[in-house]
Amino acid sequence: MSYANLLVAIEDRIATVTVNRPDKLNALNDATIEELGRAIAALSGDAAVGGIIVTGAGRAFVAGADIVELSLKSPEDARRLARRGQEVFARFERCPKPVIAAVNGFALGGGCELALACHVRLASEHAKFGQPEVKLGVIPGYGGTQRLPRLVGRGMALQLLLTGEIIDAAEAHRIGLVNRVVPRESLLETADTLARRMVRNAPLALRHALLAIDQGLEVDLEKGLLLEATLFGILCGTEDLREGMNAFLEKRKAAFRGK
């Protein structure tokens, strides 16, 4: 599958998706949103892919929406754009394989929202995060008002959203927006190492862990516990469970098959 604004590489079961509009700081125009949707759909269904890393080319992860393009949209066009972006980013969030954002630089507006939709966020020490939409007379449209408070809490999310302030990687780590901060030169290597630690585990267990958290956070605790027990029971009937337990008892590396 070919892309104009993305680079997609697969090596040893790890796919790296690079937003590649460095001259525009990887701003999310309509075409890039469409390509991100196609890419995550293809990788989610590719049996050769176990995990996904998302990053940006040049000095930005994604510096936001394409302001020139956005300024020309009518209110109804903008609503449709927001719904389309939300649907695409939901594909990242609901991907049955681990998705890691390797934030190499500016992650502002839609770029911050893309990072929020990934399962884990790593940041280079020079990364910047923010939802500055209010400074342009608008609010986040790709899920920022919903995912940010779920991740960092209502109060901190309101501070970031209402001031439009941009924070550095250290502050993003302090408030729980990112999992880890590393030197820029080792960012992709760190993301790759983390992805490989994840994908060496049972694929069905990874899929069900992601499902339990994604759906469990949207219901009350009792329903979440019921969901967990149901998924636990399903996994206890899989070949991977038997292989994992036999490998543990036999002190060998498990050879999971996703069955």
DSSP 57-92: STTEEE--B-HHHHHT--HHHHHHHHHHHHHHHHHH
Question: Does the structure show a pLDDT above 90 at 247?
Answer: no
pLDDT of 71: 76
Mean pLDDT of the chain: 93
By annotation, the residues acting in catalysis are 113, 133
Question: What pLDDT, on the 0 to 100 scale, is given for residue 259?
Answer: 82
Q: Note the pLDDT of residue 246.
A: 84
pTM: 0.93
The pLDDT value given to residue 77: 87
pLDDT digits (tens, 9 = 90+) for 17-68: 999 999 999 999 999 999 999 999 999 999 999 999 999 999 999 998 777 7
Enumerate residues 6+ apart whose C-beta is below 8 A from 124. 103, 104, 105, 169, 181, 182, 183, 184, 187
Domain 203-249 part of CATH 1.10.12.10 = yes
Percentage of the chain exceeding pLDDT 70: 100
For the domain made up of 6-199, give the CATH fold: 2-enoyl-CoA Hydratase; Chain A, domain 1 (3.90.226)
Q: Which of 138-147, 172-181, 243-252 has the lowest mean pLDDT?
A: 243-252
Rounded-to-integer distance, Cα 164 and Cα 132, Å: 4
The predicted structure's pLDDT at residue 178: 98
Residue spans per domain, the chain: 6-199, 203-249
Check whether 258 has a pLDDT greater than 80.
no
